Amino acid sequence: MTKFVFITGGVVSSLGKGIAAASLGTLLESRGLKVTIIKMDPYLNVDPGTMSPFQHGEVFVTEDGAETDLDLGHYERFIETRMRKINNFTTGQIYDSVLRKERKGDYLGKTVQVIPHITNEIQDFIFRGTQIGERDRAQVAIVEVGGTVGDIESLPFLEAIRQMALRLGKGMTCFVHLTLVPFLASAGELKTKPTQHSVQRLREIGIVPNLILCRADRPIPKDECEKISLFSNVQKEAVISAYDVDSIYEIPRILFEQGVDEIICQSLDLSLPSANLTIWDSLLNKLTLPLKPVKIAMVGKYVDLKESYKSLSEALIHAGIHSEVKIVVEYIDSESIEVDGVERLVDCDAILVPGGFGSRGIEGKISSIKYARESGTPFLGICLGMQLAVIEFARNVADMPKANSTEFDPETSFPVVALVTDWLTKDGNIENRSFLSDKGGTMRLGSQHVKIFKSTLSHKIYGDFTKERHRHRYEFNNLLKSKLQDAGLIISGETENGNLVEIVEVSSQNHPWFVGVQFHPEFSSTPKNGHPLFKSFIDASLSFSNSRIESSNSDNYSNLDKGIHETSRF
Ligand code: GLN
């Protein structure tokens, strides 16, 4: 039987509940348990894939092609279990499912209500989420309750988990509450009152936390923790100081040092060998080494909201850990390049154009790619970035003026990137359309095999095959493939059946490192392993940086930085 750790949040949002859940996952996994994590989102959208990254940050894509909340990305970076569609659900999906059953007559004409119908459905979805792989179930499922205690929207979730604790009985569930202990500058002290109120709120609903994780900008002194313990009726050892740290990957250790995993194991009646964090400790050591910085220009649209490139910035950090360099990401709004030109790219060691949708800032990205190709600056284009690299090459090398994607110019005379159905109207000779995914409409989603051609840079990086996740609609247009190849563009990866282009390169004779990939490698990068494509990209950036230093005859290594990498904070 799976046991459950429920994580609720109090006081304010954005405290890092996802990272807390993920870190608990690391600790429990390192004690030998098979762990999974489930996220319940309290909004009414049925499909998180259609939500704006401006509001919700990145859309994370699972291997099985689900477009989910970015917290699932954190889970995969911290635990071994791969997330699936079943690991994330929204209130909208719960209602959708209940209403469909009602339409089918499953409730036999009874009155359909929030309690018990919605709360039962939530419990069914939670149990469904405990599955790992085809047959296995998690020994412990960590369930993150989205929203904040006191929100009207979260109430059915809280009621459902309260009922679960009652149903499953002692030793089967553990409640963790994450709150804020703010520092008031005017009073010069940390304030525990919001936490006290938040726990009271939870208790009114019938949930008594086993553990309180108190977020603060500094370590919380013992007497403050004792005060919280007294007012919230939680053992003082179970009031944990979860203070700000430079790297999110420090959090499992901080929680471990305060005995968090032991408290959880005790409440779940689990007696296990103690946690082993050796691998995490060695990663952390590398993060604090004095390392040479490389500056990566990330030219994108949502640069003001870094959360929208979460997996990508983490993947760069992972590569930095493994290649032992400090990653400095310069987020550049592509529209500013359209106005000011490529000047800002000149002192960067590499250029990255990430995925995206819509025409805003497209020409600025294309100018950046042109600059990268002509100046020999290492370049990585991801999804839209790859498509724009093809457009740039078509326009400026392959003599296809105004080449474009039909996403941006449906009338272009050189649709080098287009919907597969657009290629059909132009030529009609694509027979096998089975590769068109029906998941999420016309979007190609989820993990698929990529066949890689010998004697290419990609082959050095990946070998013969890889599997990567996708999320896009438009494809490299095979009808213009030979024209691009004749002009020197290298196609180094395709789908297994050869129907779609997956990777393009510029020849190593003309450029040290220029790769565009139709898939999203950032979704499968973990701090423990790094990702081969990002590691190679970072190595190339380091060589480029070194060669520039050499050529400018400067042996001034004063930029050796005692460095915490640019990384997200807890
Ligand atoms: N907009 C492009 C497409 O739909 C690229 C998508 C992406 O970068 N994820 O194909």
Specify whether 442 is located in the same domain as 458: yes
Instruction: Report whether residue 357 contacts ligand 1, using a CB cutoff of 6 Å.
Output: yes
Environment class of 16 (CB within 10 Å of its CB; exposed 0-12, middle 13-18, buried 19+)? buried
Residue 563 lies inside a defined structural domain of this protein: no
End residue of a domain, out of 284, 301, 336: 284
Identify which of 382, 471, 477 to mutate to test ligand 1's pocket (most ligand atoms within 8 A of the CB): 471
**Domain boundaries, position 315:** 291-548
Q: Are strands 239-243 and 211-216 parallel, antiparallel or unpaired?
A: parallel
Spell out the residues 6+ positions from residue 397 whose beta carbon is closer than 8 angstroms to its own.
Answer: 487, 488, 489
How far does residue 213's CA lie from ligand 1's centre (Å)? 39
Ligand 1 centroid, distance to 471 Cα (angstroms): 7
**Annotation marks residue 225 as catalytic:** no
Q: Is the same domain home to 384 and 243?
A: no
CA–centroid distance, 473 to ligand 1, in Å, is 6
Are 56 and 298 in contact by the 8 Å Cβ rule? The answer is no
Q: Say yes or no: 451 and 511 in one domain.
A: yes
Helix or strand (DSSP H, E) at 53: helix 53-56
Residue nearest to atom 8 of ligand 1 (CA): 355
CA distance 311 to 319: 12
Is position 554 within any domain?
no
**Ligand 1 pocket, 471 CB below 6 A?**
yes
| pLDDT of res. 553 | 59
Does residue 31 fall inside a structural domain? Answer: yes
- Residue 286: per-residue pLDDT: 87
Question: Residue 520 catalytic?
Answer: yes
What is the distance between the alpha carbons of residues 469 and 437, in angstroms, rounded to a whole number? 13
In the chain, the number of structural domains is 2
* Helix (H) / strand (E) containing 471: strand 465-472
Q: 373 and 440: one domain?
A: yes
Q: Are residues 273 and 129 in the same domain?
A: yes
For residues 99 and 51, give the distance between their C-alpha atoms in angstroms, rounded to a whole number: 22
Q: With the C-alpha atoms ordered 155, 159, 161, 162, is the resulting torsion angle positive or negative?
A: positive
**Over its length of 570 residues, how does the chain's per-residue pLDDT go in tens digits?**
999 999 999 888 888 999 999 999 999 999 999 999 999 999 998 886 666 655 667 889 999 999 888 899 999 999 999 999 999 999 999 999 999 999 999 999 899 999 999 999 999 999 999 999 888 999 999 999 999 998 999 999 999 999 999 999 999 999 999 999 999 999 899 999 999 999 999 999 999 999 999 999 999 999 999 999 999 999 999 999 999 998 999 999 999 999 999 999 999 999 999 999 999 999 988 888 878 999 999 999 866 566 788 999 999 999 999 999 999 999 999 999 999 999 999 999 999 999 998 889 999 999 999 999 999 999 999 999 999 999 999 999 999 999 999 999 988 989 999 988 777 555 544 444 444 443 334 789 999 999 999 999 999 999 999 999 999 999 999 989 999 999 999 999 999 988 899 999 999 999 999 999 999 999 999 999 999 999 999 999 999 999 888 777 554 444 444 333 444 444
User: What is the spatial order of strands in the sheet that 239-243 belongs to?
Assistant: 88-90, 35-41, 140-145, 3-9, 173-180, 211-216, 239-243
Q: Which atom of ligand 1 is nearest to the CA of 471?
A: 9
Distance CA 399, CA 310 (A): 37
- Last residue within a domain, chosen from 284, 302, 320: 284
Buried b (16+ CB within 10 A) or exposed e, 478-508: bbbeebbeeeebbbbbbbeeebbbbbbbbee
Give the three-class secondary structure for 469.
strand
Which run of H or of E encompasses 426? Answer: helix 420-426
Q: What is the pLDDT of residue 302?
A: 65
pLDDT at residue 429 in the model: 46
Which pLDDT belongs to residue 533? 98
Task: For residue 116, say if its preceding peptide bond is cis, omega within 30 degrees of 0.
Answer: yes
Q: Are residues 319 and 225 in the same domain?
A: no
Q: Does residue 553 lie within any of the structural domains?
A: no
Catalytic residue among 470, 472, 520, 565: 520
Catalytic residue from among 63, 224, 522, 566: 522
**311 C-alpha vs ligand 1 centroid, how far in Å?**
16
Q: Of the listed 383, 407, 502, 566, which one is catalytic?
A: 383
User: Which token pair is 73?
Assistant: 């990305």
pLDDT per residue as tens digits for the range 171-225: 999 999 999 999 999 989 999 999 999 999 999 999 999 999 999 999 999 999 9
Say which CATH number the domain at 165 has.
3.40.50.300
Residue 568 within any structural domain of the chain: no
Residues 459 and 480 in one domain: yes
Of the candidates 284, 301, 326, which is a domain's last residue? 284
Pairing mode, strands 444-452 and 465-472: antiparallel
Instruction: Tell whether 263 and 409 lie within a shared domain.
Output: no
Does 268 share its domain with 303? no
- For residue 407, the ligand 1 atom closest to its alpha carbon is 1
Domain membership of residue 90 (yes or no) is yes
Distance 219 CA to ligand 1 centre (A): 43
pLDDT at position 410 is 87
Residue 12 within a domain = yes
Same domain, 453 and 356: yes
Please name the amino acid found at residue 190.
Answer: L
Whether residues 480 and 353 share a domain: the answer is: yes
Pair (511, 456) in one structural domain: yes
Residue 406 is part of a domain; what is its CATH number?
3.40.50.880
Q: Is residue 332 part of a domain?
A: yes
- Neighbouring CB atoms inside 10 A of 103's CB total 9
Model pTM score: 0.89
